[in-house]
Amino acid sequence: MEPQGGCGREYFLPVGWKRFAVQVKGVYDEGDNAWLREDESGWAVAYHGTSKEGLGGILCTGFRVGERQKFEAAAGAGVYCTPRIDVAQHYSKPTLLRGHSVQIVLQLRVRPGAINPITDPSAHEFERKYWVINNPDDIRAYGVLIRELPLRDYILPEVMVYGRDHPGIRAKIDELEEEIRQQGG
């Protein structure tokens, strides 16, 4: 049994990641930050992979609903996240930061009643680990997670869903392999 992370939902510890706290005190209407509690009244913990380019915008202005909404018909348009760090990390392509190849994942709290899990029977098992949060006000970043990962060890999320041999994915893999070659790895 995994530790609980607010509202009784499973919490998957981000083992191997360095965590930096985001200043949230007084940012939201609730002065007591009850949404951060680890009991039944707290919001659920989730993760969202991002890039160093996307990090500042999310932390300064919050989340916004993106254009690519694979499961919009079933779960509505929203922000995709997951309670599993091992899934979110696939959405953070390693990037060079001060000479190190790093991944960036946001640690979030999500209003429990706002969670729309992917239940589409045609969804791959990997995709059924996502949550869709329709209203960006129901999702809050409270930690930035960073870990070093060589680009050669990164696995695209499309590979997790379709496999390395899928014809539509081959071009993405070729691009990634070329980038690895250019980095000398």
Look at the chain and report how many structural domains it folds into.
Answer: 2
> Count H helices, E strands: the chain?
5, 8
Tell me: do 53 and 120 sit in the same domain.
yes
Query: What are the tokens at 101?
Result: 């190849």
Q: How confident is the model at residue 67 (pLDDT cuts 50, 70, 90)?
A: confident
Within a domain: 11: no
Instruction: For residue 176, count CB atoms less than 10 angstroms from its CB and return exposed for 0-12, middle for 13-18, buried for 19 or more.
Output: middle
pLDDT mean over 61-71: 88
Whole-number pLDDT of residue 1: 37
pLDDT mean over 93-113: 94
Tell me: do 49 and 97 sit in the same domain.
yes
Domain that holds residue 93: 18-149
Q: How confident is the model at residue 34 (pLDDT cuts 50, 70, 90)?
A: confident
Q: How confident is the model at residue 2 (pLDDT cuts 50, 70, 90)?
A: very low
Q: Is the pLDDT of residue 95 over 50?
A: yes
Question: Which residue type, as a one-letter code, is found at position 62?
Answer: G
Percent of the chain with pLDDT over 70: 94
Q: Is the pLDDT of residue 7 over 90?
A: no
Query: What are the tokens at 126?
Result: 């990997």
Q: What is the CA radius of gyration of the chain?
A: 17
User: What pTM did the predictor assign?
Assistant: 0.90
pLDDT mean over 131-148: 96
Whole-number pLDDT of residue 32: 73
Residue 139: beta bridge partners?
110
Q: Is the pLDDT of residue 3 over 80?
A: no
Query: What are the tokens at 32?
Result: 């007591």
Within a domain: 12: no
Within a domain: 4: no
Instruction: For residue 39, count CB atoms less than 10 angstroms from its CB and return exposed for 0-12, middle for 13-18, buried for 19 or more.
Output: exposed
Alpha helices in 24-71 (DSSP H): 52-61
Within a domain: 13: no
> 3-class DSSP state for residue 24?
coil
Tell me: do 98 and 31 sit in the same domain.
yes
Q: Is the pLDDT of residue 71 over 70?
A: yes
Tell me: do 106 and 176 sit in the same domain.
no
